[in-house]
Amino acid sequence: MSSGWPLLLECCSLPRNPAKVSALACNLHDSESLFRLAEEHGVLALLSATFATVPDARISAVSLDSLRSHHRRQTVFTLAMTAELFSVLDLLRSSGVSALAVKGPALSLRAYGDPAARRFADLDLLVRQADMLLAAEVLCAAGFESRIMPDAIRAGKIPGEYLFRRPGTRIILELHTECTFRHFPRRLPVDSYFRRQTSLLLDGYAVPVLCDEHEFLLLAVHGAKDFWGRLIWVSDVAAMVHNHPELDWKVIGKLAGEVGAARMLRVALLLARRLLRVPLPDQMKNEIERDSTCARVVAQIETWLPHAGYLRVPMMQRALFRYRIAGGALAGSRYLARLSFSPAEEDWSAGGGAPGSALAEALRRPFRLAKKYRRPQS
């Protein structure tokens, strides 16, 4: 960690400093451990691209071959997932279900200019909650297996995401709606997201996606949702800021305010600045500098982040993070309470998600969370 983590940060920084990469590579004692760390953080492709452009980095030929092998496997998987994305979008469109690709290869192309530049484990789509039952029926008829049963969808049960698997493959598809995006402090105005949609040309296919400003806000909220546990999420933010100077920060700030995610946005930008050197947008500087809590939250994230999500954060620290990231005071209290009492699939009654008592599920949730995230015993 002592030599690998600084090197990973430099490989993701923008602009990259080749001399610093070379100097840090000289102190590296175990390249395989570095590759494993990079894979856990989702930045293996960025590491590979860095070494390809820094010829004097002192990495052995054997290590470079290993890195390229890791990267090739990721590229092959990306190609298979991209083909599946095209198939699913066509399937849903022909059934009358509007869907937008979020994250995944579309984000990789948008942020880095290459659909294989970042790792992703699944395909994510945004659909309207009103279309969810039809979407599930269409996907199941096409051979996908659904983790959420149709009875649960009809009963109005809201999972963290609607997950589908294609049997015999590694392909996982996650459908999100304005209801499953529960980590937005206020409900996602989904119609606005669809009205402002755009498209990206991915291998000759026009993929429907969020506009740049909505995508950026989604990155900020997603990072906050998972406590910024992976470097790739910070790198995505940095790459969008660096490679898209046309981003309208006035619009992004307004969108963040509408869903109560203003501090989430500030934290995302400050993380990218402190870890990866990306300058703060001029329109956001004063707002970020005035928010002293934002700086404290970022400092806390910096202690967690190197561990790639394996550091077990005690429940009270998690709760305080949720309270602060939503703005503190009344807004933070409301956010924390909603997340604590809004049942997900783990809280549903026995029977595979069959209809049960909503009140019982809501009351069961905080006890389940307390058990799951209780402080580890020494």
Q: Quick one: tokens of 16?
A: 């990259």
Q: What are the pLDDT digits (tens) for 214-232?
A: 999 999 999 999 999 999 9
Q: Given this model, what pLDDT does residue 265 score? A: 98
Q: Given this model, what pLDDT does residue 350 score? A: 43
Is the pTM higher than 0.85? The answer reads yes
Q: Given this model, what pLDDT does residue 170 score? A: 85
Q: Quick one: tokens of 253?
A: 């700030």
Do the Cβ atoms of 304 and 223 come closer than 8 Å? no
Return d(Cα 74, Cα 110) in angstroms, integer: 18
Return d(Cα 246, Cα 308) in angstroms, integer: 31
Q: Quick one: tokens of 365?
A: 């949730």
Return d(Cα 235, Cα 117) in angstroms, integer: 11
Q: Given this model, what pLDDT does residue 340 score? A: 85
Instruction: Scan for tokens 């790792």, then name that residue.
Output: 119
Full pLDDT tens readout for the chain, 378 residues: 677 899 999 999 998 888 888 888 887 777 888 888 998 999 988 998 888 777 666 666 767 777 778 778 888 888 889 999 999 999 999 999 999 999 999 999 999 999 888 888 899 999 999 999 999 999 999 999 999 988 889 888 889 899 999 998 888 999 999 999 999 999 999 999 999 999 999 989 999 999 999 999 999 999 999 999 999 999 999 999 999 999 999 999 999 999 999 999 999 999 999 999 999 999 999 999 999 999 999 999 999 999 987 888 888 899 999 999 999 899 999 999 988 888 777 776 544 444 456 667 776 777 777 777 665 543
Where b means 16+ CB within 10 Å and e means fewer, 252-262 reads bbebbeebbbb
Cross-strand pairs, 174: 124, 163
User: Pick from 118, 105, 112, 119: which is nearest to 202 by CA?
Assistant: 105
Return d(Cα 267, Cα 157) in angstroms, integer: 31
Residues with Cβ within 8 Å of 296's Cβ and at least 6 positions away in sequence, in order, are 324
Q: What are the pLDDT digits (tens) for 28-71?
A: 777 888 888 998 999 988 998 888 777 666 666 767 777 778 77
Q: Given this model, what pLDDT does residue 2 score? A: 72
Sign of the C-alpha dihedral computed for residues 252, 258, 264 and 267 taken in this order:
positive
- What angle, rounded to 10 degrees, do the helices at 212-225 and 249-258 form? 50
Q: Given this model, what pLDDT does residue 198 score? A: 97
CA-angle at 349, arms to 345 and 355, nearest 5°: 90
Q: Given this model, what pLDDT does residue 354 score? A: 46
